[in-house]
């Protein structure tokens, strides 16, 4: 891929802001509030807890924030760590992440996903979040070469504090991508890719909902509309009736089989709000330096190859082998929800990070609502593939 330095940084910033997604979010968790269990079984009543007649207002959720919110609240077993000031803690953490001197970081404390309520409590207690840690998207711009020389990929990486769905883990890295096609005079949007539950799904630009700003939907808009699921932060192209288990068609077959086998089903429906109901946001955009030599100072977290969160109490793999007779973890097989290790960061995502066009072409699936994709082949061997 060609480096983005062939354009001025200000041009990259303007380009990333131009197509920044509008996020349709659940209301942000209030200071001092406690999040109710959103994935409990609601029986035959449609809608997430809080939306049924006579129930309290909608549950609060996490919003994507400046990565410093995570860094300032991470926990390391270093002598005197608790007494250090936030900037000093952050410096120690960034230095360790840059050198990959530890395999994972903890958020809040060492108990990880075992203490869900503790995470909500800590997050709700963080003061002045909007000022200190604004809602943010980290944009990475890649210009293609070879078969993809006419295309530009803008990836918007979103950092959430916690995942609280059928699977529970610290930290959440989600991503939305806009693909542009260059003409003789301009770069025009061609398609979008949204990430949802390990999988990534694509639609041509003409089929993507768009907005002019955070309050106005319009086909003339340049901001793709992303419906963000409550708790899991999976990104969807549409809002859905609340009686539909939105997540299942978006799961890769292995996870889908596991979800069905464990009988998770409807209690773990991914709820999304309509555009009109959502706490819609156009996050601030900060462009990631493409040259890894520029990953210094506050960007050192990009070098971290470990897990953004505690190790899993019982991983999906161990849940599968727990089905073997006499396996020691058998009693935990039916625990709800599944407790997992924190995810790895954007730079560890292989083809998605280093060759986003091949990734979109070969590894992403057509969104369940629309199986149409790019219009002409871009595969080197000429096979029909993407139609960017």
Parse the chain into domains and list their residue ranges: 4-366
251 has a pLDDT exceeding 80: no
pLDDT band at 385 (very low <50, low <70, confident <90, very high): very low
pLDDT for 95 equals: 93
pLDDT band at 13 (very low <50, low <70, confident <90, very high): very high
Tens-digit pLDDT profile for residues 69-109 = 999 888 776 777 777 887 888 888 999 999 999 888 888 76
pLDDT for 192 equals: 96
Structure tokens at 164: 């609280």
How far apart CA 306 and CA 385 sit, in angstroms, is 33
Of 186-190, 237-241, 383-387, which range is least confident?
Answer: 383-387
380 has a pLDDT exceeding 80: no
pLDDT for 318 equals: 58
pLDDT band at 50 (very low <50, low <70, confident <90, very high): low
For residue 337, whether the previous peptide bond is cis, meaning omega lies within 30 degrees of 0, is: yes
pLDDT for 319 equals: 54
pLDDT for 377 equals: 33
Q: What percent of the chain has pLDDT over 90?
A: 41
pLDDT for 89 equals: 84
pLDDT for 261 equals: 60
Contacts of 337 (CB under 8 A, 6+ apart): 39, 164, 165, 166, 167, 168, 264, 268
How far apart CA 125 and CA 134 sit, in angstroms, is 16
């Amino acid at each position: 891929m060609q480096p983005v330095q062939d354009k001025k940084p200000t041009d990259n910033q303007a380009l990333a802001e131009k197509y920044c997604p509008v996020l349709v979010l659940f209301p942000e968790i209030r200071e001092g509030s406690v999040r109710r269990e959103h994935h409990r079984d609601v029986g035959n009543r449609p809608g997430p807890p809080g939306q049924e007649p006579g129930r309290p207002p909608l549950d609060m959720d996490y919003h994507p924030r400046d990565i410093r919110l995570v860094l300032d609240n991470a926990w390391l077993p270093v002598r005197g760590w608790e007494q250090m000031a936030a900037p000093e803690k952050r410096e120690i953490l960034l230095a360790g992440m840059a050198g990959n001197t530890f395999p994972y970081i903890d958020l809040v404390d060492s108990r990880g996903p075992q203490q869900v309520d503790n995470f909500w409590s800590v997050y709700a207690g963080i003061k002045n979040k909007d000022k200190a840690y604004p809602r943010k998207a980290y944009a990475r711009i890649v210009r293609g070469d070879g078969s993809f020389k006419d295309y530009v990929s803008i990836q918007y990486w979103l950092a959430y504090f916690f995942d609280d769905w059928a699977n529970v883990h610290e930290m959440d890295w989600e991503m939305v991508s806009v693909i542009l096609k260059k003409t003789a005079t301009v770069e025009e949007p061609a398609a979008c890719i949204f990430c949802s539950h390990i999988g990534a799904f694509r639609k041509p630009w003409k089929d993507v909902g768009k907005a002019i700003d955070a309050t106005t939907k319009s086909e003339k808009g340049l901001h793709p509309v992303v419906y963000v699921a409550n708790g899991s932060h999976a990104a969807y192209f549409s809002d859905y009736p609340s009686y539909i288990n939105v997540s299942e068609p978006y799961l890769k077959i292995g996870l889908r089989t596991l979800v069905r086998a464990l009988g998770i089903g409807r209690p773990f429906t991914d709820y999304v709000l309509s555009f009109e109901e959502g706490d819609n946001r156009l996050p601030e955009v900060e462009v990631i330096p493409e040259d890894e030599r520029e990953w210094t100072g506050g960007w050192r977290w990009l070098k971290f190859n470990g897990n953004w969160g505690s190790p899993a109490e019982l991983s999906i793999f161990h849940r599968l082998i727990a089905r073997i007779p006499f396996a020691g973890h058998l009693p935990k097989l039916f625990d709800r929800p599944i407790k997992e290790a924190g995810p790895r960061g954007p730079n560890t995502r292989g083809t998605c990070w280093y060759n986003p066009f091949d990734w979109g072409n070969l590894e992403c699936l057509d969104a369940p609502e629309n199986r149409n994709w790019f219009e002409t082949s871009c595969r080197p061997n000429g096979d029909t593939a993407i139609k960017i």
